[in-house]
A and B are shown apart, each in its own frame.
Chain A
């Protein structure tokens, strides 16, 4: 058993977690203003933005991956712009994976945050404005601390969902060892070459990590609601 473990490459796992961590941080910063806007507005364009945000949930990852590939490749204006201006290639490398993951996991960050903001008692936000606090300060000091369960759910589920991503990653990144070969892609390749032993070990590790991540979210959220009555 130990011999098998010694032969296992852990690089794909590290890559998966690095990708998930970077994606989660970027998405949190992008989604915070978006989720806040959606929770506070009654504008007519709200359903349109909501629908676009939710698209990655229903689209097949191959469709999403295909469009991202088309949009970011050197043949597209965006891909060309990044290549010429910053010298960055956006496909078949780690940067491309981060961009693709941000699209793919967007709804998993935005929706819990928006739901959390919407569930807040509007009066406590108004009480903060009356106390002279700006919108930004109100979000940071009043809104976020009072939606901790939603915040936790958004961050953890986004992270876990990015770790578990497969289709988009394969389309946009391919399978370059140490660059784009994440755990899920590695498992797929092991099965293809009928290395079931390694596939088992990788899969069990993924299963255990995912279970404990989700378990910790539910335990945390249960405690929060008892403590603050939220």
Chain B
């Protein structure tokens, strides 16, 4: 069981705000931390790692990391951390990056085999692709059998295909090591696949906490489906208006009535949903 109860004043891009987080996380959970940029996700992760100071209490199992009297140093916290930019040691080979953390050759070999990096173990990080680097970083983070694994947007710099592959590997590693994990992520499909709990931060406070399915699905009531997107343009065609909306990587056109037009603003976030019919789903042929 991990108990988190911390407070910190942040001077972010949106002015001052208070980071106030009170959570309990079960042993072995995979928690996704989500929220807009500047909401305090990365700061929370860095406080857990002991890289930033905060007031409050942190308790991991029976061990206190932070309270009024004590602030356990990063070195003594036994954590794993996966950075968005990999942060591999450029002067060490793949294998040495792992062995630097813990000279357990057997574990290193095992991890490298699981992530298909065995043949690259003598290479320097500079000669690896982004996906390979992040796999090394993931293995390195598990080398000291951490009590808590922290990942700060680990896959956001990778292309979608590599992302899916790494998601399965993260899942596989989590199954085997049962490491309690907190991962910052913006990608709903990633959160859905990996996590069993989602925590959404806004302005330093937890505004949503639950199962991925409950938190992420945007449909409400009798809505059949619902998407959030950005309104790019409204075009007048004869007597009707057509709104161009960007949803994810795609653009869609929606007919808008004159009444509805009043509430819409170019650049604003809109929800597109339908109730009347059942959408059909077809597999995309390559």
Q: Is the CB of A127 within 8 A of B83?
A: yes
Q: Mark B132-168, 1 if CB is under 8 A from A, else 0.
A: 0000000010011000000000000000000000000
Q: Is the CB of A229 within 8 A of B81?
A: no
Number of interface residues of B (CB under 8 A): 26
Q: Is the CB of B90 within 8 A of A141?
A: no
Q: Does A132 have its Cβ within 8 Å of any Cβ on chain B?
A: yes
Contacts A131-B144, A132-B144 given; does A228 touch B126 at CB 8 Å:
yes
Q: Does B87 have its Cβ within 8 Å of any Cβ on chain A?
A: yes
Q: Is the CB of A129 within 8 A of B87?
A: no
Contacts A126-B74, A227-B124 given; does A132 touch B91 at CB 8 Å:
no
Q: Does A73 have its Cβ within 8 Å of any Cβ on chain B?
A: no
Q: Does A146 have its Cβ within 8 Å of any Cβ on chain B?
A: yes
The DSSP consensus for interface residues of chain A is: helix
Q: Is the CB of A123 within 8 A of B83?
A: yes
Q: Is the CB of B100 within 8 A of A228?
A: no
A88 CB contacts on chain B under 8 angstroms: none
A229 CB contacts on chain B under 8 angstroms: 90, 126
Q: Does B266 have its Cβ within 8 Å of any Cβ on chain A?
A: no
Q: Is the CB of B124 within 8 A of A131?
A: no
Q: Is the CB of B74 within 8 A of A130?
A: yes
Please give the distance in Å from A137's CB to the nearest CB on chain B.
Answer: 10
Please give the distance in Å from A222's CB to the nearest CB on chain B.
Answer: 15
Q: Which of B65-83 contact A (CB under 8 A)?
A: 73-81, 83
Contacts A227-B124, A227-B126 given; does A146 touch B83 at CB 8 Å:
no
Q: Is the CB of A124 within 8 A of B74?
A: no
Q: Is the CB of A123 within 8 A of B85?
A: yes
Q: Does A142 have its Cβ within 8 Å of any Cβ on chain B?
A: yes
Q: Which of B99-144 contact A (CB under 8 A)?
A: 100-102, 124, 126, 140, 143-144
Q: Does B89 have its Cβ within 8 Å of any Cβ on chain A?
A: yes
Q: Is the CB of A142 within 8 A of B87?
A: no
Contacts A123-B83, A131-B100, A227-B124 given; does A142 touch B89 at CB 8 Å:
yes
Among the listed B78, B79, B87, B144, which residue makes an inter-chain contact with A123, where contact means beta carbons less than 8 Å apart? B87
- Show 11 A/B contacts (Cβ-Cβ < 8 Å), sorted by A: A124-B87, A124-B88, A130-B49, A130-B77, A131-B100, A134-B75, A145-B91, A146-B89, A146-B91, A228-B90, A229-B90
